Structure 1
């Protein structure tokens, strides 16, 4: 699972650098063919749409399958968490995450059977 914070309509440079390092050498990459789910958050109103598009493209290039059709795009994240207690307070977002995680696990289980 990769959790992304979107900055300036993209992924943070540190995350891109970490993915670049993990993808080398290509023949024995530690990330190649690992199944990944994506969760993104941003204080903006649109949600991390651009960061998710960017990281999906990067991961595809690295031969990393990403859970298809499912996107967790949390907008205005600063209004949905209690920063003192470090907990998610938004019920709608919490319900969506609770439905997303079983789908991700099911996808992994199905993919392992196909291998």
Structure 2
């Protein structure tokens, strides 16, 4: 049995969304490095379309919100795994307040002032 994004009614929408992504994105959604769109397979850094939530894990096969640009090797290494992204993670609670992600305040040491 083939995946829904390879055949059937989702294929046309997947191809349209693939063209949009190749036109608008230029960074790998997995590793964060630039993707050279001029490379072609079998080059390991060739661009491909990755399903953020894999189809095998219930991700929509053609929804543009579930698709991202990726390097071929990054996509192969990710396979059908799910990764937590920083936005989806709950902020760590230290004491009675939530601290920003921009600084790791757990390692903060105040400077001592000379009197």
User: Normalised by the shorter chain, which TM-score bucket?
Assistant: under 0.3
Higher RCO structure (Cα 8 Å, ≥6 apart): 1
Q: Which is richer in helix?
A: 1
Q: Select the structure of larger CA radius of gyration.
A: 2
State the TM-score, normalizing by the size of structure 2: 0.26
